[in-house]
Amino acid sequence: MKRWSMHYRNFIIICVLIVSFAALILVALGPHHLPDKLPVQAAVTPSPTNQTVATPPTNNDTADIDLFKLVQEDKYLYFRVNENNQVWDYKPGQPIWYSQTDARFMLAIDVPYPNRITPKQLEILRNNIAITTTTGEPVSFTIMEGDSEQQLIISLKGTPNSDLTLTFFSADQSQIKPFIIYYMKPFDYKIISDRIPLLDKAFVFSKENIVLPLSVQTHASHVLLFQFTDEVDRASVDEHFKAILTNVNWSVDWVDNRTFNLVLNFDHKLEESYLKLSASGIRNARGVELKSTNYIVIEPTDTKGYGSYDLSTNTIAAWFNTNRQYDEIMPSSNDNWLLASTVLKKAAQSQHLYEILDEQGNVVKQFDFNSLVSPHWLNDEAGLLYINGRANSRELVLYDLDTDSTKLIWQTPDASSQILGFAIEPKSGVIAVAWGKSNSLEIYELHMEILRNIRDSSPKRYPIIGKLACNDTPCSYPLEWLNDNYLIYPTNDGRQILNIKLEQSRLFAKTLVQTKYSLFGIIPYRSKNWAVAMSKEKDHQQWIWSDGEQDITFTTELVIPDQEQLLKGLYGNGSTALFYVHNMGWYKIDPSARTTQLTNDVISSLQPELIIGQHKGKLIIGLE
d(CA 130, CA 370): 47
Last residue of one domain, picked from the residues 505, 529, 557: 505
Which amino acid, residue 209? N
Q: Give the CATH number for residue 276.
A: 2.60.40
- Looking at the structure, tell me whether residues 169 and 56 fall in a common domain: yes
Per the DSSP assignment, residues forming a β-bridge with 92 are none
Asked if the model's pLDDT at residue 41 lies above 60, the reply is: no
Asked if the model's pLDDT at residue 548 lies above 90, the reply is: yes
d(CA 84, CA 103): 8
d(CA 439, CA 442): 5
- Looking at the structure, tell me whether residues 552 and 491 fall in a common domain: no
Residue 21 lies in a domain: no
Q: Do 545 and 552 form a contact (C-beta atoms < 8 A)?
A: yes
Asked if the model's pLDDT at residue 535 lies above 80, the reply is: yes
Confidence label for 301 from pLDDT (cuts 50, 70 and 90): confident
Residue 17 lies in a domain: no
Where is mean pLDDT largest: 67-81, 222-236, 510-524, 581-595?
222-236
Q: What is the pLDDT of residue 332?
A: 93
Instruction: Name which residue leads in pLDDT, 239 or 55.
Output: 239
Over residues 337-384, the pLDDT tens digits come to 999 998 887 644 567 889 999 999 999 999 988 789 899 999 877 799
Mean pLDDT of 161-176: 94
d(CA 105, CA 139): 14
Last residue of one domain, picked from the residues 478, 505, 532: 505
Instruction: Name which residue leads in pLDDT, 477 or 176.
Output: 176
Q: Do 142 and 52 form a contact (C-beta atoms < 8 A)?
A: yes
Mean pLDDT of 117-126: 85
Confidence label for 61 from pLDDT (cuts 50, 70 and 90): very low
Domain count across the chain? 4
- Looking at the structure, tell me whether residues 212 and 160 fall in a common domain: no
Whether the ω angle into residue 474 lies within 30 degrees of 0, i.e. cis, is yes
d(CA 140, CA 131): 7
Q: Give the CATH number for residue 401.
A: 2.130.10.10
**Looking at the chain, how many residues does it have?**
624
Instruction: Name which residue leads in pLDDT, 45 or 555.
Output: 555
Asked if the model's pLDDT at residue 252 lies above 90, the reply is: yes
Proportion of the chain above pLDDT 70, given as a percent = 85
For residue 158, how many other CB atoms are within 10 A of its CB? Answer: 9
The H-or-E segment that residue 533 falls in is: strand 528-536
- Looking at the structure, tell me whether residues 279 and 144 fall in a common domain: no
Q: What is the pLDDT of residue 298?
A: 92
Residue 48 lies in a domain: yes
Q: Flag the least confident range among 147-156, 412-421, 446-455.
A: 147-156
| Nearby residues of 385 by Cβ (< 8 Å), 6 or more positions away | 375, 376, 377, 378, 396, 397, 398, 399, 409, 422, 424, 431, 454
Of 497, 370, 382, residue with least CA distance to 432: 497
Q: What is the pLDDT of residue 16?
A: 38
Residue 13 lies in a domain: no
Mean pLDDT of 273-285: 93
- Looking at the structure, tell me whether residues 531 and 498 fall in a common domain: no
- Looking at the structure, tell me whether residues 424 and 466 fall in a common domain: yes
Q: What is the pLDDT of residue 263?
A: 97
Confidence label for 62 from pLDDT (cuts 50, 70 and 90): very low
Average pLDDT over the chain, rounded to whole?
Answer: 84
- Looking at the structure, tell me whether residues 546 and 599 fall in a common domain: yes
- Looking at the structure, tell me whether residues 431 and 571 fall in a common domain: no
Over residues 8-35, the pLDDT tens digits come to 445 444 443 443 443 333 333 333 333 3
- Looking at the structure, tell me whether residues 101 and 241 fall in a common domain: no
d(CA 109, CA 121): 12
For CA atoms 490, 494, 497, 498, the dihedral sign is: negative
d(CA 204, CA 210): 9
- Looking at the structure, tell me whether residues 194 and 170 fall in a common domain: no
Residue 212 lies in a domain: yes
Of 242, 236, 245, 228, residue with least CA distance to 289: 236
pTM of the shown model: 0.73
Asked if the model's pLDDT at residue 470 lies above 60, the reply is: yes
Confidence label for 149 from pLDDT (cuts 50, 70 and 90): low
- Looking at the structure, tell me whether residues 453 and 469 fall in a common domain: yes
Of 302, 304, 301, 297, residue with least CA distance to 361: 304
Secondary structure of 138-201 as H, E, C letters: ECCEEEEECCCCCEEEEEECCCCCCCEEEEEECCCCCCEEEEEEEECCCCCEEEECCCCCCHHH
Cβ burial, residue 67 (10 Å; 0-12/13-18/19+): buried
Q: Do 278 and 312 form a contact (C-beta atoms < 8 A)?
A: no
Instruction: Name which residue leads in pLDDT, 600 or 273.
Output: 600
User: Helix, strand or coil for residue 20?
Assistant: helix
d(CA 418, CA 416): 7
Domain that holds residue 280: 189-301
Q: Flag the least confident range among 53-67, 136-150, 202-216.
A: 53-67
Of 565, 543, 560, residue with least CA distance to 552: 543
Residue 262 lies in a domain: yes
Q: What is the pLDDT of residue 17?
A: 44
215-245 residues labelled b (16+ CB within 10 A) or e (exposed): bbbeeeebebebebbbebbeebbeebbeeee
- Looking at the structure, tell me whether residues 166 and 225 fall in a common domain: no
Over residues 385-403, the pLDDT tens digits come to 999 987 788 999 999 999 9
